[in-house]
Structure 1
Amino acid sequence: MRLADFILRDMETILGQWEAFALTLLPAPADMKSLALRDHARQILEAVAKDLSTSQTKEAQLEKSMGRAPRLIGAPETAAQTRAVLRARGGFDINQLAAEYRALRASVLRLWIDACQTEAPHADDVIRFNEAIDQALAESISFFSVQVDQARNLLLGMLGHDMRSPLQTIQMTAVYLSNLNAGDKVSGAASRLIRSGARMQALLGDMLDFNRTKLGLGINIAPTDVDLANLLADELDQLRAAHPERRVELEVEGDSQGVWDGRRLQQLLGNLVTNAIKYGASDAPVRVVMTCGETDVSFEVRNRGPVIDGSSLDRIFDPLQRGLNQVKTYDTDGNLGLGLYIAREIAKAHGGEIAARSDETETVFAVRLPRRK
């Protein structure tokens, strides 16, 4: 008996075994009823049976074995993709999702071989069945991962947003204490609270910006008519105060008036200069060179220091990248490793771009911004 015929004939037996296995995947299925446990399973098996009955080329067979079967343009979600979304919302984890397909594969093949009795199973059916299950599993994992990532980003975004109010209360109370003149001990403790609160505020801001981009919303900007040179000079003054041991220079050429979100561009510059101070040579200045053209404005942050190799440059704007060849999530300086990533997103939100280059002479981060988006 061909496998496609067996699947369609014994569909209920196969589904019964699949449902029995799903019930063992506790705790997620504990409260799930039979219909929920079987959701889209019949459609997946019917699609597999149809695939087994359809001729295919060697090239198509290879693509499908790697989970890359072609999709029709405008086609709706497959049953495997829809099933993955429902499993993610039902509390399954990715191991439980994969286990269901493992059980399906084993159940179908075992029942089919038993049904064949003395007749030898068709080897090509086994190969093509495994390819079809691999394709369904690849579709499920892809959609499942998207659902999990989106849920995590939404949770982090809500958490970061809700944490701002109590943090602001802590900061305001600390400022109030520092103004009481209640002695050095109280003033010192209040100052530490203010500094720690500012660091937490920066971390929360980075996290919320990161989540906005991951949710497809992009960096939020509010452009107005501004003089960019004045804004950058003000930001550099604050950085010099925070790093009195380092020299930070600014050169401006041309008219720097334009329509931008000044606060965001100060954040962009601050991220780039802080990065240059942290990883550049301590005995050389960090130079910010701004050139203003008719339609756009460019500025570069230059520093001397270790050369950044090509592979690191290719991913230096990726999130959670820090240092020359390191991937970390947090350090003792209160850095999530999102500074360069957020800088790039701010430039993109203004319709601009940012690039990096590095050689034995210097490392340069170059930003180009149109005067009006």
Structure 2
Amino acid sequence: MFWRSVVVKLWFTILLFFSFVLLTLTIFLLQFFQNFHETQAREELEQDTEKVISIINGNDNRSLMTSTIEQITDPSKRVVLVFSRGDYWISSSNDQELESLDINWFYSNEEFKQVLNHEDSTYQKTTLPETDREILIVGQPFENREGAVFVYESLDIVKETTSQTTTLIFVAAGIAIVLTTFFAFFLSTRITAPLIKMRKAALELAKGEFHTKVPILTRDEIGELAIAFNRMGRQLKYHIQALNQEKEQLSSILSSMADGVITFNRSGEMLVTNPPAERFLSLLTYENGKQAGEEATPLELQSTLERVIASEQEEVTQEFHLQGRSFVVIMSPLYDQLYIRGAVAVIRDMTEERQLDKLRKDFIANVSHELRTPISMLQGYSEAIVDGVADSKEEKNELAQIIHDESLRMGRLVNELLDLARMEAGHIQLNIQEIELESFLNKVVNKFKGMTQEKDINLKHDFNLETMIVRIDPDRMEQVLTNLIDNAIRHSDTGGEVQLHVHAVEDQIEFSVEDSGTGIPEEDLPFVFERFYKGDKSRVKKMGNTGTGLGLAIAKNIVDAHNGSIDVHSKRNEGTTFMFTIPGNL
């Protein structure tokens, strides 16, 4: 982790580059100074040689000549004068090893022989015989006499000078490396500090902290990068907020849609669903015998998707019948330019439309049936009177009475239809009054004494009331109770029982009418509050059991207008119970 840091990489790069340059420079400097010192030593030796030759050429006194040479030469150097073989002179030196040099060595060296023979001068860097010490030696022949002069010195002085220079260079290099290390670390820290802050800010940005900002410390490229980074953060925040708003808006639209929506990718995976679509999928899953919660796309939808992708049709429609409900699925392709990337399915619940269509047809059939019978009777009995079939006055009065009863029945049917239409259109008007509830209920019960005695029905009532005064529309509520009790009596056999229970629970009043009749078939229970519902499917008019089939529909509308609810429970041959609840104070 440490070596992956930008600071370390930059510091190490600068240090390595500077060390390479410094090492190269040091090598060249050492070579240069070594050559320089050797060249300087050679020049000094040559100058000394020139001085000795000039002294020898200008002085014939040998003792004066040698004393003068001793005075002008450096004691660290040694001068050898060779006049002829066996005749030579060597100056003294403070270096003991230089004094051990044998004169015969000069005669054995080929280059020195050339100098002695006046053929050429010489300069050599060589090693003393029988030692490992290096010396520099310059040899030059005399101009006007036989012989030559040799001046030499040890290279230890040059090496010592070179060593001191090398030490100085290495010390300077070490100081330079230390300073470079500090400078490189400072520079890399200075450069990378904003980058480190940008890295932290970028990590915060990746976590969704779009308010994170990088401080702008400089006005160079790094400062411009920080400005661009902050601008990028603001733009990201703006776009993410816009995307979230659009996503929430889309989610709200999908959730509030009455139709189901499912989007698929090309491989058939479901990407987006809304609650109506999930209900459809749960029904389809249950219909296929699978467990709830399985995420796989149903085979029916998968096959429809394959048809859409294969045929590239604008839309494919398929209808499903699930658990007594009807659904229409309209699937259309989704394009990515010219490529189909998936499909969207719109699922529409057509159950209500189908039921409304059925109700419309049933309504026409029921109204036609209800009107056809009295109209036929009116037509038949009126023709009997016109044709003189009834001769006596009594027969004519009887036929006229039947015509009158049937006309009243038609008028009652038409009035109930108009009343129900006004209620369903929301035009019902309630005349809310404060009434004493128990006396109101007793009046309703007393209306049925004659009817119950005629059919030998036992009508019981149970009133458990905490409050005696309620606010209701008494006429409408009497219409509801009258309809329910009348139905209960008419559908109960002789010797049966009908019970009216009224209870006050908190601020609600609960009514229930229970009979011991034949009950309502289970398959008919969802339709009892619809217009023209009759439990007698054969529509045979039994004595005392005639009706228009609109009473329960009117009762439901009146209860709904009182902000209440109505329901029914029934079992075959065990009786039926109608119960409804209304607020005590409207």
User: Aligning the two structures, in what range does the TM-score lie when normalised by the shorter sequence?
Assistant: 0.3 to 0.5
In our comparison, the structure showing a higher alpha carbon Rg is 2
Q: Which has the higher strand share?
A: 2
TM-score (normalizing by structure 1) = 0.47
